[in-house]
Amino acid sequence: MSDESETIGRTSICFTTLCIRFLKSELINNNSTQLELILLVYRFLNEELTIYAQSIQVHRRRQLLNQLQKRLNDILPCLIRISNDLLIVTDQRERLTQTCLLAVNSFLTWVEYNHFEQYELFLCELFLKFFQLNSVKLRYASFECLLSLVNKRLAKKQLQQQQQQRNKRIALSPSSALNCQHEKLFLNYLLGDNTLGMFYRLLISPTDSIEQLRTIVTNDHLNCLKMLGQLLVKLANYLLQLFQQLAAKSIDDDQFLTFVNERTRSFLQFLLLLNQHPFHLLSLNSYQALNAFIIRQPTLLSNEQFCLQLVENLKQSLYRVHFPSSTTILIENDNDNDNDILKKQYEHNQKCFIYVLYEYDSEEQFFWKFFSQYRTELQKLIKSFIGMFFPDIVAERSIVIETNMSCLKSILQSLLAFLESLVQRTPTKTDNQIQTSLSSIYLIIEWEAFYLLIDHVLFIVRKELFSSSTSFIKSQQKMEQLLMTSTMTEQFLSTLRFLLQFTPNLSEHIHGHVLNLLSVMFFITKHDPSLAIQIIQRLLTTFQLYQQQSIAGTNVHECEIMQTQAANAFLYLCKNFTIKMIDYYSELFPFICQLYKDEFQLTKTLLSITIDESSCPTLKLLDAAQTLLYYKLIHNNDETQCEAFYELIKPIYETFITSLTIDSLIPFIQYLDLCSNETIDINIIRYRRRNLMLALHCLCLLIRYSKQQQQQLNSIIRSKITICLRPFLFDYILKITQFCNQLYDQQINPFYEILKINLTYSETEKQLYLGTYESNNMAKATITSTTTSSSLPVSFVRFQSTSGSNIIDDQRLRDYLHRLFDICYQINGIFFAHDTDLYYLKLNDDNYFITSFLQKILFANLNTLPSFRLRIVLRHFCRSFVEHYCSLLTLDKEIINELFLTFLDIFLPYIQQRLTTMWNNLLTTTLNYQQGECSDEVIEECVCVLLTRDFVDIIRYFIYKTTIIGQTNLITSGINKKKNKIMNGHGHSESMCEESNGIGGDTDQIDEWDEQATNYNNISNKLLNGTQEKMDYSDLFTYMIKMSRQNSPLALRLFTYVIKTLFECLTFPDAYCVNRFLPIILPLTKLYTDIIDKLVISSSSSLIDIKFLFQCLLKGLERHNENEGVNTNMISLIGHIYELWHNRYQTELDFVLYQTIPQLNVELLNTYKTRLLSSNNNNSNNEQQRKSQQITERERRDTIKNLLNPLLLSPMSSNKKEGLNLKIPFNQTIVSTL
């Protein structure tokens, strides 16, 4: 690559000289074709030089650039002159003009700012002249040039600012002084009224006609809008940087300061105007620029007019992204007073559609691909904006606080006033004609959008002023006094009373928003406690009302939505106002328990037989009940409250008694009618299936929450809860898990041929693995909630809500069996995390519980489970089972350790063998299917990747202490998750669900790739450099090392296998394995080598296959050659391993090198070995001489890279054909063992 780069560099120098001669000539008018060709080649060389500049050696790159830069002062004036001459003949030579501008842009992209600084203002003027022309192509080309210029200018200014901050001498030098006149001219060119007006006229509002807009919207027009959006963000950063410079320097030019403030105000008004642009990306860019201003210039908060306008824009923007399809809405000629407003909004929506449908294939595709991002950015802005009103440091800033609270008070007053007007405009009784009218549809959309806005605002206010966790109590009280004046408090109370009297009938979604608003505004009830009781009653009575209707089988869809919303709002109260809710505990808890029990009586329901943890009202109600209960258990230390816990598990116990009295698979299949014989009434079957699934989810939630609160409970209560839960595992969970396993075993399941069509991937599972579950799960989308960023807007859902009823029964049954298998293994895994005594529990004098458990649950049917079910076993059970194992100081400690090592000795090789087979099959079949097809091969590949990653984590948990990479990572990942959710703008999640929903903590099935990648960063890559840092091994792994030193066959065999696994996983195509194992291979291999070298074993050579391990390293390097980061670390590891083994295993290592590497550089290899030999011989010499002889990391990498270059440069096609067809020894056949 370096030779190619040098060639491009030399060609650029020669061609630049030729280009200069031609451009200086007077033959341009007569040779426009030649000029265009030269400009195209020049642009190409510039772009290639930019790409390859990094691959040229530093000193050579400097030489080339210096030679080029000598000619730059000649070529830029020529390009400017040609561009200026072409300005008057663009109609005849549009293509030539465009080529010239793009050549200028390629020039600006790679040269330094100081090479064109003297021409900067002229270039700005020139580009803006081109922008005013009618040609959209020239407008776009000039925009590219302008953006490149601004980027270079901004980067240069930022670099200068950093240098001045680091070096005061530079900061005080005359050259660092701000050139006010130059800055003023630059600002006037880009932010002057004429320029902003031109942007508005040509891009923002090119026409008022919708038909004409359809002809204007083209690729070039959209590209111009995208460039404008990028330019706005850059200009915002430039202005903020300029303000920072002005604050750091004393500027005497008052006119300049006035000018900067004036241009900033115009720019901000321009951004506010752009907020409503129908092209969503430009609107988004304008909000991003405003967000940057708000964060870094909090003085904007004192501008009440600006703040109110921004809130209004946010409301309108949230409103407009929920527009309905143009094909389903017609303007009515009714006598509505708001008809003119509706027409205006409708026309704006149609403009939005023109942009949307030009970029996306359909309205639905837009919602999935862009809607989520747009709304997320708006949510981030709302939280950032409202959060800025509450400064962290409040000392000596009373004026700022007063100003902030005054402005925030105006915002709240306007929002509450609009909420009351919205309530007044919403009818309480409707008929079908009203529900389908345009005004009603827009009213529903308006509720959806406004709720999202006010929910964010009120959540921030509650968190900052009424949260007990706030650290600045005094400042909190002061801000509360300033904000919550008597007038403001009365308006809150008045609005709350108004909402309590309001029961909308237009849409169940509006009713849900009302319930959520009642819970969000609960903090104001401190001024009127009676309202607190009314809110609680309203939420629970609403839930009860729709529960009764659901039991009766009427309005099932509406009932499900309303129960979910009411339960969600009530759970929010229990999570965020726990102390207040405890005041009503004695009356509240029995009522909640009764509602919870009644949920198991939905005999006539037509709801789904599966349970969605994010929206199931029963689980939310149970979560609320246990939140209150555990608060009592922890703070009151009242053991009598254990009776209340029994009330929560009673419905689960009763369901299990009814459902799981059977003792074999056939009655289980018949009870749930899995063969669909239709001999039993379908409602009874649905009731059975739903209740069993609901009971399992409730049990899982109870155990998980108990696990979270365990450390805060006293030992007696903790023991009672643990003992209370154990029978569920022994009597029911083991039984149903066995049944789920046996369904896939043809030898045990006599109905396998009938059932096998339903034992494959469910549709939900396929969508999960294909990454489109969120976008296609319409049943989930029909419950309008902003708990997930990709949920559809209510207006869109209204036209799709019937699609969920057309699901084929077979699909439902496949989904049910998948969820049943999944939740069973979740419960098994969480049981061992919750009750670690299970590892040591004896069933009788001879048998331990884990022996029986592993035989019945894990090993009995492991061979018959398909890979997509094996993935669930590893993910939900095996990871947790290995992670939470700990060696307790008991008499049975060594026995249990031996049992666990035996388990790993069987389990790990078996999984590795299956993974190797799966990867080999995948690499073979990859050639047989086209990329992009939604085929079974794509799903198989995804399953294989996830299985491999879970397997990697299991080995990781075995090697390292849980406290280091378990608990620490859980905390870290929890923090990161929370930060990510905040940054992603899941405002509703944070305000109404994230704090309240403790249900889905560990149930993510697919979205754990990034989490797994971040959880492993505690192991430093410094280990690759041979540093002997102490590794914090787990107790079990430490025990295995100890027994290996004592020549234990089991421990040595398992240790050998772990080493082999680490090496072999490097050959898998998934780079995750490489990144996770690379840092730990060297220290573990050193430890292992040290152990086996010290053991006097006649068969020691059979313990370790050096050829195989070293071959894995070379195969892994070859497979991941394109990954630069992996490549560098792999080369370093190969060098370290060669140095570690070359004394004892030199013959084997060299054999692999000769066999694997074509045209091996023998001379270089011998030189390297001689260097290693001399380094070892000098070990006895003094320390200084030894260090001088030692091979450095850079030398090691360069030597190994040069040795392996023939391998790295060889074509990769042979690798793909060969797959992983290595001869894999030590892979035991597990069938007989199991």
Mind listing the pLDDT tens digit for each residue in 629-649?
Answer: 999 999 887 777 788 899 999
**Chain centroid, CA 41 distance in Å:** 42
DSSP 1166-1182: HHHHHHHHHHHHGGGS-
Which one has a higher pLDDT value, 1097 or 1138? 1138
The two tokens of residue 55 are 């691959």
Instruction: Write down the residue that tokens 């009776």 correspond to.
Output: 643
Task: Please provide the size of the chain in residues.
Answer: 1234
d(CA 347, CA 966) in angstroms, rounded, equals: 55
Judge whether 508 lies within some domain: yes
If one counts the domains in the chain, the total is 2
Judge whether 1222 lies within some domain: no
Taking CA atoms, 290 is separated from 198, 204, 236, 668, 685, in Å, by 21, 18, 8, 61, 56
Closest of 521, 388, 546 to residue 459, by C-alpha: 521
Within 8 A by CB and 6+ apart from 818, the residues are: 761, 762, 764, 765
Q: Place 774 in a pLDDT band, splitting at 50, 70 and 90.
A: very low
d(CA 818, CA 99) in angstroms, rounded, equals: 59
Judge whether 945 lies within some domain: yes
- Segment 1048-1061 shows an average pLDDT of 93
Farthest-apart Cα atoms in the chain, separation: 105
Judge whether 784 lies within some domain: no
Q: Which of 524, 548, 577 is the last residue of a domain?
A: 524
Closest of 83, 16, 82 to residue 46, by C-alpha: 16
Whether the pLDDT of residue 973 is over 50: the answer is no
Q: Which tens digits make up the pLDDT trace of 422-459?
A: 999 888 776 555 555 677 778 888 888 899 899 999 99
Taking CA atoms, 368 is separated from 251, 371, 777, in Å, by 50, 6, 12
Within 8 A by CB and 6+ apart from 416, the residues are: 491, 492, 495
- Segment 142-163 shows an average pLDDT of 82
Q: Which tens digits make up the pLDDT trace of 284-343?
A: 889 989 988 888 888 888 888 999 999 999 988 887 766 555 444 444 444 455 567 777
Judge whether 884 lies within some domain: yes
Judge whether 1059 lies within some domain: yes
Judge whether 138 lies within some domain: no
Q: Which of 524, 547, 564 is the last residue of a domain?
A: 524
d(CA 388, CA 703) in angstroms, rounded, equals: 40
Sign of CA dihedral 712, 716, 718, 721: negative
Contact by Cβ (8 Å): 209, 351: no
Percent of the chain past pLDDT 70, that is, above it, reads: 74
Give the 3-state DSSP-derived string for 1092-1127, with helices as H, strands as E and coil as C: HHHCCCCCHHHHCCHHHHHHHHHHHHHHCCCCHHHH
- Segment 1030-1039 shows an average pLDDT of 84
Q: Taking the CA atoms of the chain, what radius of gyration do you get in angstroms?
A: 35
What is the domain range of residue 492? 393-427+438-524
**Chain centroid, CA 412 distance in Å:** 32
**Phi, psi for 1033 (deg, rounded to 5):** -75, 155
The two tokens of residue 1016 are 């492993």
Highest mean pLDDT among 182-191, 378-387, 571-580: 571-580
Instruction: Write down the residue that tokens 């799960």 correspond to.
Output: 777
d(CA 943, CA 865) in angstroms, rounded, equals: 13
Highest mean pLDDT among 870-884, 1000-1014, 1029-1043: 870-884
**Chain centroid, CA 157 distance in Å:** 33
Taking CA atoms, 67 is separated from 8, 9, 38, 63, in Å, by 13, 10, 20, 6
Closest of 838, 932, 923, 929 to residue 885, by C-alpha: 838
Whether the pLDDT of residue 167 is over 70: the answer is no
Whether the pLDDT of residue 927 is over 70: the answer is no
Q: Which tens digits make up the pLDDT trace of 56-91?
A: 555 555 666 666 665 656 677 777 777 777 777 665
**Chain centroid, CA 89 distance in Å:** 51
Q: Which of 1070, 1104, 1138 is the last residue of a domain?
A: 1104
Highest mean pLDDT among 161-165, 240-244, 731-735: 731-735
Neighbours of 240 (CB within 10 A): 17
Give the 3-state DSSP-derived string for 676-693, with helices as H, strands as E and coil as C: CCCCCCHHHHHHHHHHHH
Judge whether 1064 lies within some domain: yes
Within 8 A by CB and 6+ apart from 583, the residues are: none
Contact by Cβ (8 Å): 702, 821: no
